[in-house]
Amino acid sequence: MISIKGLTKRFGGTTVLDDIDLDIAEGERVVVIGPSGTGKSTLLRCLNFLDRPDEGTITIGDLSVDAARASKADILALRRRTAFVFQNYALFANRTAQENIMEALVTVQKRPKAEAAERAREILRETGLSDKGDSYPAALSGGQQQRVGIGRAMAIGADVMLFDEPTSALDPEWVGEVLDLMRRVARKRQTMLIVTHEMQFAREIADRMVFMHGGRIVEAGEPEQIFGAPKDERLQRFLQRVG
Ligand code: ADP
Ligand code: MG
């Protein structure tokens, strides 16, 4: 359902993503791991053109976008099929939890306000935040803010949800509730591409894992293989450090 071919991104003279190929099936959960600075965030950001890739093709369902020739309409269409969960939540500080969840439904999807509000209330229930709809982000814990961030992404009904280290900005006490919500999303067979350093969680949730190093995919496989029988020496060293 998602096919990434030859994805390449340079910043100045530095190649940050180097000819990435990756296919993700509908409902599949793929976890990306790798040392910091290796291009994991850039990979996710290139998939919806938060960073513009230099080369490669991104296909989501029947939409295929060639990076070198992508039009504004292509980019918008791609963004409608993806939902992004940021490390730092990236909520609108001057909007309530419910308004944050409604935002894209109203501005991007052009849904009537009442309908968007109803959908947001559903999402608030699902994320365990029914009593927080009128709260502003500053009045919420880190865990609650990230649950709003995930709720906002759920509301869109995107083909794929992209998670960029959704728990790494959180105090340890809030990590569990955010991972629980991600498990709940996964149970709905939502296609997910997740960057995380939570190895236990990765092992449990991933259908497939991808190890990146220096802008390349160095090794990929099922969690049992990645953790139990890693082949690449860089992956072995990485697992020793984080595990
Ligand atoms: P990761 O998420 O794996 O830690 P990133 O994708 O954030 O890695 O970054 C990969 C490399 O690209 C790093 O060397 C980083 O400094 C560089 N980089 C990321 N974003 C930019 C940018 N906007 N401008 C210049 N360099 C960038
Ligand atoms: Mg990153």
CA of 163 to the centre of ligand 1 (A): 16
**What residues have CB less than 8 Å from 117, skipping those under 6 apart?**
98, 102
| C-beta 196 within 6 A of ligand 1 | no
Q: Is the CB of 145 under 6 A from ligand 1?
A: no
Share of the chain above pLDDT 70, in %: 100
Q: Which residue has the tokens 């067979």?
A: 189
**Which residues touch 128 (CB under 8 Å, ≥6 apart)?**
147, 177, 181
Ligand 1 and 40: CB distance under 6 A: yes
Question: What local confidence, expressed as pLDDT, does residue 11 receive?
Answer: 96
pLDDT at 39 over 80: yes
Check pLDDT > 90 for residue 18: yes
The answer to whether 191 and 164 are in contact (CB under 8 A) is: no
Q: Whose CA is nearest to atom 5 of ligand 1?
A: 39
Cα distances from 137 to residues 42, 91, 159, 180, 236, in angstroms, run 26, 7, 27, 20, 40
Residue 238 has pLDDT above 90, yes or no: yes
Q: Which amino acid is at 183?
A: R
Supply the residue whose CA is at minimum distance from atom 25 of ligand 1: 11
**Taking 80 as the threshold, does the pLDDT of residue 114 lie above it?**
yes
Residue 40 Cα to ligand 1 midpoint, Å, equals 8
Q: How far is the CA of 67 from the centre of ligand 1 (A)?
A: 19
d(CA 243, CA 223): 13
Q: Give the pLDDT band (50/70/90) at residue 41.
A: very high
Rounded average pLDDT over 222-226: 98
Element (H, E) at 56: strand 55-60
pTM: predicted TM-score of the whole model, two decimal places = 0.97
- The secondary structure element, H or E, covering residue 196 is none
Q: Write the pLDDT tens digit of every residue in 63-113.
A: 999 998 999 999 999 999 999 999 999 999 999 999 999 999 999 899 999
176 lines ligand 1 (CB under 6 A): no
Q: Using CA positions, which residue lies closest to atom 26 of ligand 1?
A: 11
How far does the centroid of ligand 2 lie from the alpha carbon of residue 34, in Å?
9
pLDDT over 80 (residue 157): yes
- Beta-carbon contacts of residue 173 (< 8 Å; ≥ 6 apart): 143
pLDDT score recorded for residue 208: 98
Break the chain down into helix, strand, coil percent, rounded to 5. Answer: 45, 25, 30
Dihedral over alpha carbons 41, 46, 50, 53 (to 10 degrees): 130
Q: Is the pLDDT of residue 239 over 90?
A: yes
3-state secondary structure of 190: coil
- Whether residue 236 contacts residue 230, with contact meaning beta carbons closer than 8 Å, is answered with yes
16 lines ligand 1 (CB under 6 A): yes
The token pair at 86 is: 């940021």
What was the pLDDT predicted at 243?
A: 72
- Note the pLDDT tens digit of each residue in 124-153: 999 999 999 999 999 999 999 999 999 999
